[in-house]
């Protein structure tokens, strides 16, 4: 196995499940190695001294009038769907 134990195969499987991507065994093995190295690299941030300073940028709310406007019509919006019926996106049975 890899010498760094930051990321194991089970971790990759867990993350791939959260992200809804099925992976081949080869892909999983590559990701264990690559993610391990990348995470090791980004972990250098833990050494940087930071005060609790996330809110230092002045973000202001942007408002607009609550008015109904025309938007692109449904037929056009749905035209690129892989599967549809009438004006609905069609997906496999959910419940």
Judged by CB under 8 A, the chain residues 14 through 33 that form the site for other proteins are 15-16, 18-24, 27, 31
Using CB under 8 A, count the residues that bind other proteins: 48
User: What would the 3-class secondary structure string for the chain be?
Assistant: CCCCCCCCHHHHHHHHHHCCCCCCHHHHHHHHHHHHHHHHHHHHHHHCCCCCCCCCCCCCCCCCCCCCCCCCCHHHHHCCCCCEECCEECCCCCC
- When the beta carbons of 1 and 18 are compared against other proteins, the nearer one is 18
Judged by CB under 8 A, the chain residues 31 through 70 that form the site for other proteins are: 31, 34-35, 37-39, 41-42, 44-46, 48, 50-54, 56-57, 62, 64
C-beta closer to other proteins: residue 2 or 34: 34
Indicate the Cα dihedral angle 6, 7, 8, 9, nearest 10°: -170
Which two three-digit tokens encode residue 39? 């995470």
Q: Which residues bind other proteins (CB under 8 A)?
A: 7, 11-12, 15-16, 18-24, 27, 31, 34-35, 37-39, 41-42, 44-46, 48, 50-54, 56-57, 62, 64, 72, 76-83, 89, 91-94
């Amino acid at each position: 196995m890899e010498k760094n134990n930051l990321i194991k195969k089970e971790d990759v499987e867990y993350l791939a499940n959260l992200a809804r991507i099925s992976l081949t065994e080869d892909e999983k093995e590559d990701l264990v190695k690559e993610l391990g190295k990348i995470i090791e690299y980004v972990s250098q941030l833990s050494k940087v001294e930071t005060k609790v300073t996330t809110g230092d940028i002045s973000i202001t709310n942007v408002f607009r009038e609550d008015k109904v406007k025309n938007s692109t019509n449904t037929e056009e919006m749905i035209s690129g769907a892989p599967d549809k019926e009438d004006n609905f996106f069609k997906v496999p049975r959910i419940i």
